[in-house]
């Protein structure tokens, strides 16, 4: 089921989904360290929170792509 059929909204959803995935990737790499340094949270707890935040953002980005009917990867199909 495609939720976003409009020609104007579909590119916006596409860009937003890639933005969420990119922010999730950055959160995966530096989220725990940033939380530890700036919020003063214990390092182990901060790393878990960074990973959880990354998982949520990547899942939201992937969910938007599926809702818009866009593929999750750039490949259009398998080459056998």
pLDDT digits (tens, 9 = 90+) for 1-51: 566 666 777 788 888 888 988 888 888 888 888 888 888 889 888 888 888
Instruction: Give domain limits for the chain.
Output: 9-67
pLDDT at 65 over 80: yes
In total, the chain counts a number of residues equal to 80
Q: Which of 5 and 68 is assigned the larger pLDDT?
A: 68
Query: Alpha carbon of 39 to those of 2, 54, 66: distances in Å?
Result: 40, 18, 35
Using H for helix, E for strand and C for coil, what is the string for the chain? Answer: CCCCCCCCHHHHHHHHHHHHHHHHHHHHHHHHHHHHHHHCCCHHHHHHHHHHHHHHHHHHHHHHHHHCCCCCCCCCCCCC
């Amino acid at each position: 089921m495609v939720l976003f059929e409009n020609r104007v909204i579909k590119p916006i959803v596409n860009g937003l989904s890639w933005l969420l995935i990119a922010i999730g990737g950055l959160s995966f790499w530096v989220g725990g360290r940033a939380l530890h340094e700036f919020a003063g949270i214990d390092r182990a707890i901060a790393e878990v929170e960074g990973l959880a935040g990354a998982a949520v953002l990547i899942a939201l980005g992937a969910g938007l792509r599926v809702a818009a009917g866009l593929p999750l990867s750039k490949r259009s199909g398998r080459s056998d």
